[in-house]
Every structure is written in structure tokens, then in C-alpha cells.
């Protein structure tokens, strides 16, 4: 039995909008795995454990604070771990399933804390998706929510062009997830969103092989037809009756100037993750951008002239 | 000026706008169907102008001239014929 086959829990780690909800629904369709909608438990544990340092390097956080009160770091982690695991364990038990899995899209912002909390006690499904598609999809999410979630605040403050902010967030997360997987090679499975939507059953079979489980294509149909476990997560996946690759490559529609800026941010990490770097077109003369702007204004008159009104930017995706 | 033909236009739609050329024929609505949004259409117009040497005047920016590959090519051909 491999190490990932004997772990109590399975954690899905991926940047927000990288297919975590789709994967959550697929995992939950397995007769032996229970993966509830986003519980936020591990992200909350991450926030609970997060520590800051003074200029002198003194840690200020719960682990340090409780240590002064006589509670060892391992004691605190052990109690918190039991709390976090117990919710998922009980949920799985209620579903009559042997294993639990957890996915919350923002867990990936707390990798060091998840490392401290879970270590080799869990198997990790590390999701990857093209960074520019992720950035476009996060932008869509924020527009839909009318808010930037807490974990994105620093990025939006540092990079006022929001797609650049989200590209930076993706780059940090993707790099972090790669490093996390490398430090837990026997417990981590790298899974590409693009593979999952192109060949869901073949990809799930590989994942299940890693987890020591089997996969039947019936589970895919069950995942998409199930209405039993609605909850927090990506809203669009619930409107899909099939898995397709229509959300792959939407970034290609971004304006050339934006693409050049995003390529600079994302290309090193895209290559690290095995994606083709984004080709940057030669810089165009300023009159070309002005002309596009002018034509864009003229095109406004066509709105309502029998076309489906659609805002510029990324198209709706079937899932994160 | 390189001129503009169907293949060049389809290649642009594929490479720059991410459309599948296999799903587009000369009369597939691009803008009115939502397949291409206004940002992409603006880019398409500027590309067509650069490739063909034809300029779209404000009154030319209409679905009659822009909504399909066939209409774009006919508009360019008409202008070249002047």
C-alpha cells in the first residue's frame, strides 16, 4: 500500500478558480470518499496559526503565545488538527464513507500552516491551471461577488491593475503548490485542470490509482447529476451537465497590451509548471491602441442590434 | 500591404481570439451571436485594416460589414474595387 493510500484525509490544494469545485464534486461521487462543499476549516486553521514577527524576529501568534502559557507547539497543533479532522471524519461517517476529502478554494494561501497542521497525515491533490485563465476567472469571481476576498487584498493594493494582481497571486500560489508537492512526493498528486476537463475519466483513474481507489465513469455522471451536496464553492459548476474544455484558453482574447504585462508575471511559473510561455507580440505603435479604442467606441452602437449582450473580458467557465 | 484572405482571417480568429476555425464558416455570426465580444471585434477591425489597407469609416462599423467572415471579406473586396 502506498503512503497516499493509507492517509486519513485528502486535501485539494489549488489556486482559486483552478477547478477545485469540479474536482470536489467528482471526489464526492466516489462511493468511498466524502468531500463536502467548502467548509473553510483548513483556511480558518491557517489564519488561526498565522504568525507575524517583530523587527527583532520575535514571533507573534497563537503558537508563540500559548507556548509562553505552557502549551507546546505540538500540543496546540494536535488539538487543532483533531478539531479540523473531526468535522470531516464525522461528515464522511454520516455519508457512510470510509475516507474524507476537503477542498476550500482559498486553502492554498495557507500552505505553511497546512504543512504544520497536516504534514504527512493527508494526501494532497495539487491542482494546476494556466495562470492567465485563473487570473481572468478570479476577476470574474470578484465582479460576481462585488468584493475582493481577504486573501487577495494585498495583491490588489500592490497592483492596481487587477488582472496583474491576480496573475501575481496565481504565480505565488502555483510556485508554492509546486514546492509543497515536491516536499511531500509520496503524498502529493499533481493534476492539471486542462487534463481533467479534456479527459475526466482517464485523469480521475490516475488520481484514484494514486489514492489506492478505483474509478468508474459512472461516478462522473453521478457527480454532475447530484444535487445532494450543494454548498459553498463555484456556482457555475452546478449548472453543468457535462464536463468540457470550453473554459480553457479564454485568456487568448485579452488585449495585446494586457497579455504582455501578464506574460511578464506568469511566464516563469508557467514554464515551471510545464505550460508553454505566453508569446509576447512585438510592441505595437501607440496609434494602433488609439485606433482600437476609437473602433471600440463606434462598436458600442452595435449593442442591442440583435446581439447577445456580453461584457468584454473572460467568458463564463464551467468551473473555477 | 499583404492583403487579406479567408485563411489569414481564420488564423487570426484562431490564434488571437481563441476561436475554433472548424466551427466557423463564411456566414457564422461572430458578434451578434456573442462568439466575439466588442473588445475582440475592435481588435479584429484594426487587424483587418492593417492587413488589407482598407479603413473602416464610422458609418462602416455595422453588423452588415462585420458580423461574419464572408461580410468582412466582401467589404474589403468592395473597397479594394473602388
Tell me how crowded residue A33 is: count the other CB atoms within 10 A of its CB.
21
Average pLDDT value for chain A: 88
B28 or A7: whose pLDDT is higher?
A: B28
Which residues on B lie below 8 Å from A253 (Cβ)? 17-18, 37, 39-40
**Shortest CA distance from B14: residue in chain A:** A252
Q: How far apart are CA A147 and CA A234, in angstroms?
A: 15
- Report pLDDT digits (tens) over A177-199: 999 999 999 999 999 999 999 99
Nearest residue, CB atoms, A312 vs list B17, B39, B56: B39
Tell if the CB–CB gap between A296 and B40 is shorter than 8 Å: no
- Report pLDDT digits (tens) over A53-105: 898 888 899 999 999 999 999 999 999 999 999 999 999 999 999 999 999 98
Tell if the CB–CB gap between A295 and B63 is shorter than 8 Å: no
CA distance B10 to chain A (A): 15
- Report pLDDT digits (tens) over A254-272: 888 889 999 999 999 999 9
Tell if the CB–CB gap between A311 and B37 is shorter than 8 Å: yes
A303 or A177: whose pLDDT is higher?
A: A177
Q: Which of A302, A304, A315, A317 to mutate to test the interface with B (most CBs of B within 10 A)?
A: A302
CA distance A268 to chain B (A): 22
Given a cut of 90, whether residue B79 has pLDDT beyond it is no
Burial class (CB within 10 angstroms; exposed 0-12, middle 13-18, buried 19+) of A304: exposed
Contact residues of B toward A, CB < 8 A: 15-18, 31-34, 37-43, 45-46, 49-50, 56, 58, 61-63, 66
A-B C-beta contacts closer than 8 Å:
70
What is the helix, strand, coil percentage profile of chain B, to 5?
60, 0, 40
Close Cβ partners of A24 (under 8 Å, ≥ 6 residues apart): A12, A35, A37, A38, A101, A103, A233
Amino acid at each position: 500500500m502506498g503512503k497516499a493510500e493509507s492517509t486519513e484525509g485528502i486535501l485539494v490544494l489549488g489556486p482559486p478558480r483552478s477547478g477545485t469545485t469540479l474536482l470536489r464534486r467528482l471526489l464526492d461521487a466516489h462511493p468511498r470518499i466524502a468531500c463536502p462543499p467548502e467548509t473553510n476549516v483548513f483556511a480558518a486553521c491557517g489564519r488561526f496559526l498565522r504568525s507575524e514577527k517583530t523587527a527583532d524576529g520575535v514571533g507573534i501568534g497563537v503558537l508563540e503565545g500559548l507556548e509562553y502559557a505552557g502549551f507546546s507547539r505540538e500540543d496546540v497543533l494536535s488539538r487543532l488538527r483533531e478539531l479540523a479532522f473531526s468535522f470531516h471524519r464525522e461528515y464522511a461517517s454520516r455519508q457512510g464513507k470510509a475516507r474524507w476529502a476537503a477542498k476550500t478554494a482559498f486553502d492554498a494561501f495557507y500552505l505553511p500552516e497546512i504543512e504544520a497542521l497536516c504534514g504527512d497525515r493527508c494526501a494532497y491533490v495539487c491542482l494546476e491551471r494556466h495562470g492567465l485563465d485563473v487570473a481572468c476567472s478570479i476577476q470574474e469571481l470578484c465582479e460576481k461577488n462585488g468584493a475582493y476576498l481577504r486573501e487577495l487584498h494585498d495583491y490588489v493594493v500592490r497592483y492596481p491593475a487587477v488582472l496583474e494582481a491576480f496573475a501575481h497571486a496565481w504565480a505565488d500560489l502555483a510556485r508554492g503548490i509546486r514546492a509543497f508537492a515536491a516536499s511531500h512526493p509520496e503524498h502529493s498528486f499533481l493534476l492539471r485542470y486542462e487534463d481533467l476537463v479534456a479527459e475526466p475519466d482517464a485523469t480521475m483513474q490516475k488520481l484514484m490509482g494514486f489514492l489506492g481507489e478505483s474509478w468508474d465513469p459512472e461516478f462522473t455522471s453521478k457527480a454532475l447529476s447530484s444535487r445532494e451536496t450543494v454548498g459553498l464553492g463555484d456556482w457555475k459548476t452546478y449548472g453543468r451537465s457535462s464536463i468540457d474544455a470550453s473554459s480553457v484558453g479564454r485568456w487568448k482574447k485579452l488585449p495585446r497590451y494586457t497579455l504582455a504585462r501578464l506574460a511578464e508575471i506568469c511566464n516563469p511559473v508557467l514554464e515551471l509548471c510545464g505550460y508553454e510561455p505566453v508569446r509576447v507580440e512585438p510592441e505595437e505603435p501607440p496609434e494602433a491602441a488609439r485606433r482600437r479604442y476609437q473602433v471600440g467606441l463606434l462598436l458600442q452602437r452595435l449593442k442591442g442590434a440583435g446581439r447577445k449582450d456580453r461584457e468584454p473580458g473572460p467568458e463564463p467557465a464551467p468551473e473555477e | 500591404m499583404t492583403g487579406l484572405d479567408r485563411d489569414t482571417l481564420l488564423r487570426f480568429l484562431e490564434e488571437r481570439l481563441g476561436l475554433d476555425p472548424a466551427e466557423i464558416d463564411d456566414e457564422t455570426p461572430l458578434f451578434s451571436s456573442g462568439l466575439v465580444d466588442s473588445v475582440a471585434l475592435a481588435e479584429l477591425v484594426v487587424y483587418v485594416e492593417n492587413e488589407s489597407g482598407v479603413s473602416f469609416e464610422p458609418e462602416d462599423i455595422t453588423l452588415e460589414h462585420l458580423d461574419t467572415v464572408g461580410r468582412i471579406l466582401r467589404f474589403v473586396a468592395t473597397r479594394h474595387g473602388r
